[in-house]
Amino acid sequence: MIPTHWFLILSGILFTIGVMGVLTRKNGITIFMSIELMVNAVNLTFLAYARQFHDVHGVIFVFFIMAIAAAEAAVGLAIFISLFHHRNTIDVDEANLMHW
């Protein structure tokens, strides 16, 4: 049986890679995929602790996180489609409509 903290370290590494994507990329869709990567790292942490403490609530939380990530992906991608229709780009630096 694999120790729990190895899963936690893998999760930390994946979360860090996601943060790196959000901080250094300009393509909106790539930033969105980095966010999905961070969500998955958190899911892995939830499942690791659920197994460590024999608590099924962590697994149920992962279930809800997946549903919310699906909703987030649908709305976020619709926003990018709308942005692309208006500005003909999905570069996040160009999305400055609320900039004054």
Partner 1 sequence: MEFAIFFLFAAIAVIFALVVVLHRNPVVGALSLVASFFALAVMYVLLEAPFVAALQVIVYAGAIMVLFLFVIMLLNLKHVAEPPTRPVQQFLGYTACSAFGIGIVYFLLKYAAFETLPQGYFQADARTIGIRMFEAYVFPFEMVSILLLAAIVGALVLSGRIPGERARLDAEVGK
One of 42, 78, 96, 99 touching partner 1 (CB under 8 A): 78
Reported as half-sphere exposure (CB side, CA atoms, 13 A), residue 65 has a value of 19
Please give the size of the binding site for partner 1, defined by CB under 8 A. Answer: 74
Contact 29, 80 (CB under 8 A): yes
Q: Is 90 in the site for partner 1 (CB under 8 A)?
A: yes
3-state secondary structure of 50: helix
Q: Any contact of residue 27 with partner 1 (CB under 8 A)?
A: yes
Q: Which is nearer to partner 1, 24 or 99 (CB)?
A: 24
Alpha helix (H) residue ranges in the chain: 4-24, 28-53, 57-87
Residue 95 makes contact with partner 1 by CB under 8 A: no
By CB under 8 A, tell whether 30 contacts partner 1.
Answer: yes
Smallest Cα–Cα separation from 61: which of 74, 75, 49?
Answer: 49
Show the site string, 32-61: x = touches partner 1 by CB under 8 A, - = not.
xxx-xx--x--xx--xx-xxxxx-xx-xx-
100 touches partner 1 (CB under 8 A): no
* 98's tokens: 């609320």
